[in-house]
Structure 1
Amino acid sequence: MPAALHSLGFPSSTMALVLGRICSSYRTTLWRSLLGCQEALDRFSCSSVLVKGSSIHTSSLMFAGHNKWSKVKHIKGPKDAERSRLFARLSMMIKVAVREGGPNPDMNTPLYNLIEQCRQRNMPKASIETAIKGAEKSKATSYALYQARGPGGASLLIELHTDNTNRTFADLKGILIKNGGTTTDGARHCYSRKGVVTVQPYDKDGTPVSMEQALEFAIQAGAEDVQESQDEEDKDVYKFICEVPSLRDVRSELLNLGMVPISSSPEYLPIITVQVSDSDKEQLFHLLELINNQPEVLRVYDNIE
C-alpha cells in the first residue's frame, strides 16, 4: 500500500494521514466487534440469571445444573427421605393397630385415626391397604416408651415399635452416650399424655382462621386448649388439645365446624420445660436427628423452650 501511494506521487505526509485513518477505522471495527461479543455474553449471563425461582449468580461461568443439583440435594432429597420414613412409620403403626383391634376402622378407633392421618399426609391408598392386609403376616412388634436425658438437661421421650426391645434399647443407648445424652427413669414426669388434633390454619373453603376463632372452635368441639404450632415442613398449623378418650369426638366436631384435620393421635406434651444454651441446643438437635433416623422410632418428644 505505501509503495502504491508513493508511485502515484503522493507526498509522505498524505501517505501517513491515509494510513492513520485506515488503521483507525480497523481499530474501531475491531473494538465494536469485541463489544458485540461482550454484549452477547452479558445477555447470555443475564438470561441464565433471571430465570424465575433461581438464585442470582455474579459470574457468567456458573452453570444452571449446579443450582438445580443443589436444590435436589438440599431440598428434594431430605424431603423425600422424611416422607419415606413417615410412610414407613405409619405402615408399622397400622399393622400394630390391626393386630390389636382388628382391620375394621369403624370398630377400631386407633386404626381409624391412623387411616385419616395417612390420607391427610397423601399416603397412597394402595400402601394403606397393603399395611392393613399385611398385618397378620408381619413380624410381631411391641410398643415401648424409652426415657432419656439430652444435652443441656432436656428430657426426652422416645416412642417406638420393635421386635427386639433389648437390641433397640442398646442401639439407642449407644447413640445417646456418643452424643451427650444418657438414659434415665425421670423423663416421664415432665410430660402429660393428651389427645391432639392437628388442623390447617384455614377452613375447608380456604379462608384463614384467626386464633380467636380457633379458641371459639375449641370450646364448641370440647377441646381443652388450642395452640399455634408448625408441622414437619415448617408450615403453620393449629393443635387442639383434649383428653385421649374424646379425641375422635373432638376431631369430628372440628370437621363439622369447617376445619381441615391433618392428624389426630395421643401425644406427650411437656408440662415442665427447660432452657438450654445455643451450643447444647445444636448438639441436642443433632442427637434428635440421629434418633429419628432409627427405623423402630415412631416419635421423639423434647421439653426445651
Structure 2
Amino acid sequence: MIYWSTFLFPLKGMSTGAVLRAFLSGCARKLTREVPWPGARRLPQFRALHACPPRCAGHNKWSKVKDIKIPKDAARARLIAKYTMLIRVAVKEGGSNPEFNITLAQLIEQCRSKNLPKSTIEAAIKGAEKSKAAAQCLYEARGPGGCWLLIEVLTDNNTRSHNEIKHILTKNGGVLCDGARHNFDRKGVVVADRDGISTERALELAIESGAEDVQETEDEEAKPILQFICDMSSMKVVRTALEALGVHTLSTGMEYISNSPTPLLQLQLEASAVLLEALNDYPDVVRVWDNIQALE
C-alpha cells in the first residue's frame, strides 16, 4: 500500500487530505512546480501509479463465440433444414411409414446418426403434406483446376436455384457444364464409427464383409468415420456382416463415388475449398460431390 503522506509532508499549512485531493483532481504537476513557503523543498515529478490489475476487455470470449460457436450453430441449422426438406420429399413420394418407404427409413437413420432431435424428424414427417412441392435436381459443374462437381439441390423454385448456383460457380472459378456425371458411380455406402480401427484392419473388414472398398473420412463434426462402398443392392448384406464383425455402423445410403480423381495443386485446392464452402452454404444445396485429389 502507498502512503501519500510520505511524499506530502513538506507542504506545511496544508492538510494531507487537501493535497491528496489536489493530486487526484489533476493538480499534481502545479503543486510540484510551486513552492508554498520559503525553504520548502520542491516535490519531485511523479507519474501516475496504478496499483490495481488491468481489467480484461472480454474480447477473447466473444472471438471464440464468433469464430467457433456461431459458424458451428449455423452449419447445424443448415443441416437440419436440409434433412427436413429431404424427409418431406420422401414422404410425398413414398408415404410416411418407414417400413414401406426405404428412402424415408434411410433418411431417418442418417438423422439419428447426426444426432438430430426426434421431435424435428417427427415434425418433418407430419408437415410433409402442408409443405410446398419441392423437386430434387442434380447439377453438373467444373471447378478450379478442372475438377468435376455434382451438386444435389432440393428446391421449390428451380429457376432461382439455377441462377444462384451459376452465380456462385462463376464468382469462385467454376462453371456449369455437362460431363461431370461420367466421372462418378452411383454406389451404396455404409457409414461406420472409426473406433480406433487401423487402415489395414479397415481393408480386411471391407473384404470380409463383401464391400468393394473403404474410405477414411470425417463427418460434419470432424469425427473420424469409415465409409464402406458397395453395390446399391448389397448395402443391407454388407451392413449385417460388418455388425457381425463388431463394427458399429451408423447409417446406409446411396452416394456418388468418384471413378477418376483430378489431382490439384495447393493453390487449386484452396480455391476449390472456397467454392465448395460457398455451395454448401446455399440453403437449397443438399450435398456436393467432387473428384478432387491432392497432388503429391
TM-score (norm 1): 0.75
Could you list the runs of 5+ residues in structure 1 that have no partner in the other structure? 2-33, 42-59, 203-207
Are 1:83 and 2:83 matched, yes or no?
Answer: no
Distance 1:179 1:283 in 2: 7
Q: Deviations over 1:29-81 (max 9, x none)?
A: xxxxx9xx5xx85xxxxxxxxxxxxxxxxxx6654x22211111111111111
Residue 42 of structure 2 corresponds to none
- Higher share in helix: 1
Distance 1:141 1:279 in 2: 37
The CA deviation at 1:233 is 2.7
Are 1:119 and 2:107 matched, yes or no?
Answer: no
Q: Secondary structure at the match of 2:133?
A: coil
Distance 1:250 1:108 in 2: 20
Are 1:98 and 2:80 matched, yes or no?
Answer: no
The AA in structure 2 aligned to 1:276 is: L
Spell out the pairing of 1:194-213 with structure 2 (5 A cutoff): 194-202=187-195, 208-213=196-201
Match of 1:277 among 265, 279, 293: 265
Q: Secondary structure at the match of 1:275?
A: strand
Distance 1:211 1:114 in 2: 28
Distance 1:133 1:253 in 2: 34
Q: Would you say the 8 A contact 1:197–1:264 is kept in 2?
A: yes
The AA in structure 2 aligned to 1:154 is: C
Distance 2:240 2:123 in 1: 26
The CA deviation at 1:108 is 1.5
Q: Secondary structure at the match of 1:280?
A: helix
Q: Would you say the 8 A contact 1:151–1:180 is kept in 2?
A: yes
Q: Would you say the 8 A contact 1:270–1:303 is kept in 2?
A: yes
Q: Deviations over 1:133-166 (max 9, x none)?
A: 1112211111111001111111111011122222
Residue 49 of structure 1 corresponds to none
- The alpha-carbon distance between structure 1 residues 298 and 215, as it changes in their structure 2 partners (threshold 3 A), is same
Distance 2:235 2:145 in 1: 34
Spell out the pairing of 1:1-305 with structure 2 (5 A cutoff): 41=53, 62-63=56-57, 65-202=58-195, 208-305=196-293
Distance 1:221 1:201 in 2: 16
Q: Would you say the 8 A contact 1:120–1:261 is kept in 2?
A: no
Distance 1:93 1:190 in 2: 25
Distance 1:123 1:70 in 2: 27
Aligned length: 247
The CA deviation at 1:251 is 2.5
Could you list the runs of 5+ residues in structure 2 that have no partner in the other structure? 1-8, 10-48
The AA in structure 2 aligned to 1:213 is: R
The AA in structure 1 aligned to 2:164 is: D
Residue 24 of structure 2 corresponds to none
Q: Secondary structure at the match of 1:173?
A: helix
Q: Runs of at least 4 residues of structure 1 off by over 4 A?
A: none
The CA deviation at 1:215 is 2.7
Deviates more, 1:117-126 or 1:253-262: 253-262
Q: Secondary structure at the match of 2:262?
A: coil
| RMSD of Structure 2 on Structure 1 (CA) | 2.2
